[in-house]
């Protein structure tokens, strides 16, 4: 490879903290807040201009049900519930969870940005927005701990020193750069550029035919077969549509990401042209594009335990459970059109564009079914690398079927809360993250509001 030497230089330590969180989606921010509420000095580093990750910058305005599949037991609470309650007080969230668990809660992503700012400020966290994690500092010794990370922003490059680090970058940027073992699934779930449209209701009946119209006219616009869904932004005529598909990109690769952003926007325009042609009198306008492509999957870390599809679909219980979920397995295929949905009660549906849904069973019927699944603490701990680094979010160690269920935000938010509390417990007890007393961790999570 053609290379240039970057001269070594001393960098200013711009901040010192107990816990440093990299990545400020709700996963990362909730980690930071839980740690700060336990008295830790916390710093959070986010490369975009706001908190929220996919929920804000990629405009995905849906959190799924906080209840089990029967709607009887609340299995998720904590900061997800707290945030929903705060949005509710402002009238910017709609609850559908008991009638449509898959829709759960729809909210206004712009209001969420402001609410997350408030939560961060109230917790007294040091915030760096527009700041990118660049590299880990060299380890203290071969078996040592991570002492600092290098970040880059408008003010230049600097170091943040901390005692614990939480990688919530979605792409396992810290873990990968530390040389921890990571892997990519054979078929990464595709990326999607969402879009918000004003005047959606003026489309009339066309609004219900988006998928069909894309199927019919998409090939003329070089649109791949897709699965389209969307939601009104509460109390508005603005509609968030997720209907594009960018296949075959690895979001942890800069060229792929660049191509994905541009291709996503091209597809949004093509869809808009198809809708306008079908409904020429509609007053449809493109209200907003995402500031970041919606990413479903990139790197995963290798931990001592890979959560499997079997674990999820059988509702397997773990002694070290730190998060729970009931969202179905939802595989957005890269290798064939459409999506497959697999449910805890043994049913499976394959939705293939242009064809009737195919219903079958992935397992025989049983008298009782699991109603939720569990995520173990172990899946957040890189099997190798410094013992003061933990991950949270979609890079946890899961097989493709488990990933297709657990990746959704109400689940990932809990992994953040667990990582934040674990980091503080490890500091308080002077223990490595891998040796934590997990029953005590679970008790602390519950005491702070988690539904464990």
Ligand X SMILES: Cc1cc2nc3c(=O)[nH]c(=O)nc-3n(C[C@H](O)[C@H](O)[C@H](O)COP(=O)(O)OP(=O)(O)OC[C@H]3O[C@@H](n4cnc5c(N)ncnc54)[C@H](O)[C@@H]3O)c2cc1C
Residues near ligand X, by CB under 6 A:
22-25, 27-28, 45-48, 53-54, 58, 60, 62-64, 132-133, 168-171, 173, 192, 194, 242, 294-296, 393-394, 407-410, 412
Q: Is the CB of 234 or the CB of 278 nearer to ligand X?
A: 234
What is the DSSP secondary structure assignment for residue 292, as one 8-state letter?
Answer: S
The least CB distance from residue 301 to ligand X, in Å, is: 12
Other CB atoms within a 10 A radius of the CB of residue 400 amount to 17
The least CB distance from residue 375 to ligand X, in Å, is: 13
Q: Is the CB of 160 or the CB of 242 nearer to ligand X?
A: 242
The least CB distance from residue 170 to ligand X, in Å, is: 3
Cβ-Cβ contacts under 8 Å for 45 (sequence gap 6 or more): 20, 21, 22, 23, 24, 128, 131, 132, 133, 149, 151, 160
Radius of gyration of the chain (CA): 22
Closest CA to 164 of 420, 389, 393, 378: 389
The least CB distance from residue 410 to ligand X, in Å, is: 6
Cβ-Cβ contacts under 8 Å for 148 (sequence gap 6 or more): 13, 136, 137, 159, 160, 161, 162
Q: Is the CB of 28 or the CB of 78 nearer to ligand X?
A: 28
Distance CA 378, CA 398 (A): 11
Q: Which helix (H) or strand (E) holds 321?
A: strand 321-325
Q: Is the CB of 282 or the CB of 297 nearer to ligand X?
A: 297
DSSP E strand stretches across 13-61: 13-22, 42-45
Closest CA to 372 of 439, 304, 303, 451: 451
Torsion of CA 219, 224, 230, 236, to 10 degrees: -50
The least CB distance from residue 227 to ligand X, in Å, is: 10
The least CB distance from residue 54 to ligand X, in Å, is: 3
What is the DSSP secondary structure assignment for residue 353, as one 8-state letter?
Answer: T
The least CB distance from residue 368 to ligand X, in Å, is: 27
Q: Is the CB of 282 or the CB of 295 nearer to ligand X?
A: 295
Q: Is the CB of 58 or the CB of 441 nearer to ligand X?
A: 58
What is the DSSP secondary structure assignment for residue 285, as one 8-state letter?
Answer: E
Q: Is the CB of 68 or the CB of 173 nearer to ligand X?
A: 173
Q: Is the CB of 60 or the CB of 278 nearer to ligand X?
A: 60
Q: How far, in Å, are 3, 9, 178, 375 from residue 6 at the CA level? A: 9, 9, 19, 42
The least CB distance from residue 171 to ligand X, in Å, is: 6
């Amino acid at each position: 490879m053609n290379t240039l030497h970057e001269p070594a230089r001393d960098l200013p330590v711009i901040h010192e903290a107990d816990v440093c969180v990299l990545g400020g989606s709700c996963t990362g921010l909730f980690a930071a807040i839980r740690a700060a509420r336990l008295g830790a000095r916390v710093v959070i580093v986010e490369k975009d201009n706001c908190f929220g990750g996919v929920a804000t910058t990629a405009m995905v305005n849906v959190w799924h049900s906080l209840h089990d599949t029967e709607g009887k037991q609340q299995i998720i609470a904590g900061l997800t519930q707290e945030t929903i309650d705060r949005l509710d007080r402002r009238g910017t969230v709609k609850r559908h969870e008991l009638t449509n668990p898959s829709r759960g809660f729809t909210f206004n992503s712009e209001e969420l940005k402001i609410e997350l700012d408030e939560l961060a400020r109230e917790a007294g966290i040091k915030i760096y927005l527009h700041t990118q994690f660049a590299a880990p500092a060299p380890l203290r010794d071969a078996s040592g701990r991570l002492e600092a990370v290098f970040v880059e922003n408008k003010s230049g490059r600097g170091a943040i020193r901390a005692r614990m680090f939480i990688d919530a970058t979605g792409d396992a940027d810290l873990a990968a750069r530390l040389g921890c073992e990571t892997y990519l699934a054979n078929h990464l779930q595709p990326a999607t550029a969402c879009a918000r449209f004003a005047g959606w209701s003026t489309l009339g009946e066309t609004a219900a035919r988006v998928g069909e119209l894309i199927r019919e006219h998409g090939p003329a616009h070089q649109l791949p077969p897709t699965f389209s869904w969307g939601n009104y932004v509460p109390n508005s005529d603005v509609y968030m549509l997720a209907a594009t598909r960018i296949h075959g990109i690895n979001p942890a690769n800069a060229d792929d990401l660049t191509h994905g952003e541009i291709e996503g926007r091209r597809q949004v325009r093509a869809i808009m042209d198809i809708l306008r042609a079908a409904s020429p009198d509609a007053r449809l306008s493109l209200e907003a594009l995402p500031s970041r492509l919606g990413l479903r999957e990139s790197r995963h870390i290798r931990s001592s335990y890979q959560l499997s599809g079997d674990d999820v679909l059988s509702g397997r219980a773990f002694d070290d459970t730190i998060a729970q979920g009931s969202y179905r397995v939802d595989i957005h295929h890269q290798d064939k059109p459409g999506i497959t949905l697999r449910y805890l009660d043994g049913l499976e549906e394959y939705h293939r564009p242009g064809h009737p849904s195919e219903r079958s069973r992935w397992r025989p019927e049983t008298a009782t079914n699991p109603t939720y699944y569990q995520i173990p603490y172990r899946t957040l701990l890189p099997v190798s690398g410094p013992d003061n680094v933990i991950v949270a979010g979609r890079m946890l160690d899961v097989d493709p079927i488990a990933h297709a269920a657990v990746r959704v935000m109400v689940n990932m938010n809990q992994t953040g809360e667990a990582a934040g509390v674990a980091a503080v417990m490890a500091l308080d007890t002077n223990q490595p993250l891998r040796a934590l007393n997990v029953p005590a961790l679970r008790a602390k999570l519950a005491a702070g509001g988690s539904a464990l």
